[in-house]
Amino acid sequence: MSYCRWLFSVLVSSVACASAYANSVNNVGALGQAQFQNLTEDLGAAVSYKDMMPAAPLGLTGFDIGVTAVDTHFAHGGAFQAATQSSSNNILVPSIQAQKGLPFGFDVGLTYSRVPGSNVRIMGGDVSYALIGGGLLAPALTVRGTYTKMTGVSAMGLNTRSVELCLSKGFAFITPYIGIGRVRTAGIPHTGHLSAVNVYNTKGYVGADLNFGVLNVDFEADRMAGSTSYGANLGWRL
């Protein structure tokens, strides 16, 4: 339990200090078309839905509510630096996430993020279906559809859609998981000299879920279009 308290303090500290290196995206009009495409791809890696849970369904009465912090290091840092007029090559996204189990192996989830020190806001959701529910010997396999939308940035709009497969297998109180997906990121400029772009990227991730009764701790690493995200989640799960 002391480990969970330590992780919670880390998450709270990360959210509190995020403003130290988060920046508002307010200089999109200064970008060229190639830079705008790079910015769209990088922000897509940060904004895309990160479920941070193993593949096994929660069940009809199950739910999970957690606080998450994800730090994304960009592949094309120059575009983000130009768009924010800063030296940042990464963004820390704290969020609140909720998952609810439904009948027949379905789960649904929602997420909301507000990046301190920035105008970036993120809302999203997912629907997943357990192709294999998992058990004592069998792994769990889930297919998941996700959607996220970035708001708060007057100079551009951005949204992501993805289809993913996640595989997990529990061992005692640890459940490792691995996933792969295809993500479409749409960047919509609100300035006349730039054109909207759609980029398609493959996303891969690995993680581990640690169960401490009703408390769960998750660690995850994601890779998409050259950008890398590292995240931690502390959740209350039943």
CATH assignment at residue 215: 2.40.160
Buried b / exposed e over 30-43, threshold 16 CB at 10 Å, is: ebeeebbbbbbbbb
Strands (E), 121-155: 121-133, 140-151
Q: What is the pLDDT of residue 23?
A: 77
Residue 96 to residues 19, 76, 93, 153, Cα–Cα distance (Å):
17, 27, 10, 20
Our count of domains for the chain comes to 1
- What is the phi/psi pair of residue 47, to 5°? -85, -25
- Tens digit of pLDDT for each residue in 186-215? 999 998 899 999 999 999 999 999 999 889
Angle between helices 33-47 and 77-84 (to 10 degrees): 100
Q: What is the pLDDT of residue 117?
A: 86
Q: Contact 115/18 with Cβ under 8 angstroms?
A: yes
Confidence at 5, pLDDT banded by 50, 70, 90: low
The stretch 3-26 carries a mean pLDDT of 56
pLDDT for residue 20 is more than 50 = no
Among 12, 9, 97, which Cα is nearest to 50's?
97
pTM of the predicted structure, to 2 decimals: 0.89
User: In this structure, what token pair is assigned to residue 34?
Assistant: 């190639």
For residues 131 and 120, give the distance between their C-alpha atoms in angstroms, rounded to a whole number. Answer: 35
Q: What is the pLDDT of residue 18?
A: 45
Cα–chain center distance at 151 = 15
Q: What is the pLDDT of residue 206?
A: 98
pLDDT for residue 6 is more than 50 = no
The conformation of residue 5, written as its DSSP 8-state character, comes to H
Q: What is the pLDDT of residue 76?
A: 92
Q: Range of 95's domain?
A: 2-237
Confidence at 135, pLDDT banded by 50, 70, 90: confident
